[in-house]
């Protein structure tokens, strides 16, 4: 109960921070950090995929709404997509002697493990987001530049946040 309240509070904080701070931190008209992804990536590992998909959908919709109602759906689609891969990715990168991914704790992992979780998740989300925004392959290399630079930006910020607030 207290655990879920903590997650709810974190959710509100992440979404507000995204709107008030990170959305205004676009660099060179290409790189925008979407730090609220860290919340989705660090959701409890014992949640079933259906719950993850639902939370991803709602979180993406909330992030979208802050841009106004005219252009909804970009974050919603990208976040739902990224949550489909979360549990699978965790089991792939974990060592083979872990039988159940419920036993894994994010706090005890080293930076290599966290990097190999964060980077693919961020890349999937950002690729979906910017390709849907472009909605065509016209000017593809600029879209690619946006994807890569934003991914790097988001990765650096989320990695810093993780080391400061989540690591033991």
Partner 1 sequence: MFRLIKFLSDSRNVIIFLILEGIALNMVIRKSDDRRTRMGDFLMDNVSKYQEWRSGINRYFLLAYENERLKDANSRLQGDITLLSEQIQHYEGLLKLDSLPRPLVDTFQQRKFVSFIPCQVIQYTTHRNYNYITINKGSLDGIGPDMGVISSEGIVGRVVRVSERYSVVQSALNFDFELITKIKTKPVSSGGAFSPDDALAFFEWDGRSARFATLAYIPETVEIHKEDTVVTSAFSTLFPAGFIVGVISDTEKSKKDGYTTAEIKLATDFYNLSSVYVINTEPQAVLDSLERTLPHD
Residue 17: CB minimum distance to partner 1, A: 13
Which residue, 65 or 115, is less far from partner 1 as judged by CB? 65
Specify the long-range contacts of residues 57-61, CB closer than 8 Å, at least 24 apart.
Answer: 59/11, 59/15
> Rule CB under 8 A: which residues touch partner 1?
19-20, 23, 26, 29-30, 32, 49-50, 53-54, 56-57, 60, 64-74, 76-77, 80-81, 84, 132-135, 139, 142
Residue 27: CB minimum distance to partner 1, A: 10
Residue 161: CB minimum distance to partner 1, A: 21
Residue 6: CB minimum distance to partner 1, A: 24
Which residue, 135 or 168, is less far from partner 1 as judged by CB? 135
Query: Cα dihedral angle (149, 45, 99, 161), rounded to 10 degrees?
Result: 40
């Amino acid at each position: 109960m207290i655990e879920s309240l903590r997650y709810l509070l974190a959710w509100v904080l992440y979404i507000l921070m995204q709107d008030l701070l990170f959305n205004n931190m676009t660099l060179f008209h290409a790189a925008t950090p979407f730090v609220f992804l860290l919340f989705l990536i660090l959701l409890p590992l014992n949640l079933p995929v259906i719950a993850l998909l639902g939370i991803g959908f709602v979180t993406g919709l909330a992030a979208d709404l802050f841009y106004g109602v005219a252009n909804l759906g970009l974050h919603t689609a990208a976040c739902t997509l990224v949550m489909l891969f979360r549990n699978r990715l965790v089991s792939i990168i974990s060592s083979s002697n872990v039988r159940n991914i419920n036993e894994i704790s994010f706090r005890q992992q080293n930076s290599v493990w966290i990097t190999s979780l964060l980077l693919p998740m961020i890349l999937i989300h950002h690729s979906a987001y910017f390709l849907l925004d472009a909605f065509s392959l016209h000017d593809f290399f600029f879209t690619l530049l946006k994807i890569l630079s934003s991914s790097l930006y988001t990765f650096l910020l989320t990695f810093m946040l993780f080391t400061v607030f989540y690591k033991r």
